[in-house]
Chains A and B, each alone.
Chain A
């Protein structure tokens, strides 16, 4: 995907630190030297192209409810089916196939620990596959924003 210099600046400058003010896109445009409606138009286009998923707050998982990383070793030939069944459960917000004996990795979230536990138990029973449950002990780096190396991109 080729983005122009202004889109790149928009991304570089505002993966974090977007102002919380009545007209945030006006303030962003003033800093970038473009009109408010151009900021809005560019954000809409970036969203439509799926370069960004949304604009707004990223909540801190551990403070915004309960969540847990879990992994299962699904039989290779069933992996798509198992992934699909996991996705149909409430509160699944990541679900990746990874190259390992534990080949499906997902994060389950819930409003509180008790609901989380209940959901996990239910899912484990439904799949009839034991989970690796890997709660977070400590986060050393939790900021998902990272600097895009535009030159290195294909």
Chain B
């Protein structure tokens, strides 16, 4: 990765520079002793401004975590299943919170049903080293949370065509 400073249009205002910073942060920190200073140069800000903005985004929840973004597949987690459930509306929040506590559940969301094509309203993701492990974890999950008779479906992933972090910031005029 190149850390060549980019020429920043000096007429950009502070908000525009912060937008460039955010977009740049989404691709990861440069791996050098002072990554925030390197980013500051790219964005036309000071290192202090970059540190403050990043800290503020973390404090207000825009940044939900800061650290190594692991590629589980490379590490050996070869199987993942999206397990979808049809939970009565009045129970969905309680079940969702309970499932989210399980160590092997990595995501847990409520989404709207789309009847008749899609009767499920709770989604969770289970990772494992292989399908057998995922099935075993699912079996434990159903038993522990009283979901033995709950309609559900298991969608194993077969192939990742794309997996990357979100790019939400629009085309800032860098």
Contact = CB atoms under 8 A, between A and B. Distances in A.
Contacts of B8: none
A41 to B, nearest CB: 9
Contact of A65 (B32, B118, B164, B169): B169
- The prevalent SS among residues of A at the interface is mixed
Interface in A110-154: 110-112, 115, 132-148, 152-154
Contact of A36 (B33, B96, B118): B33
Interface in A35-51: 36-37, 40, 43-44, 46-47, 49-51
B64 interface: yes
Interface size of A as a range: 35 or more
B140 interface: no
Contacts of A94: 162-164
A103 B157 CA distance: 9
Contact of A51 (B71, B109, B153): B71
B111 A69 contact: yes
A112 to B, nearest CB: 8
Given A23-B33, A63-B62, A139-B109, A1 B74 contact: yes
B51 A21 contact: yes
Interface of B: 22, 25-29, 31-37, 47, 51, 54-55, 57-58, 61-71, 74-78, 82, 93, 96-97, 99-100, 103-112, 114, 117-118, 121, 123-124, 127, 129, 133, 153, 155-170
10 contacts: A20-B36, A53-B70, A55-B29, A55-B67, A56-B27, A57-B25, A61-B168, A95-B161, A102-B155, A153-B129
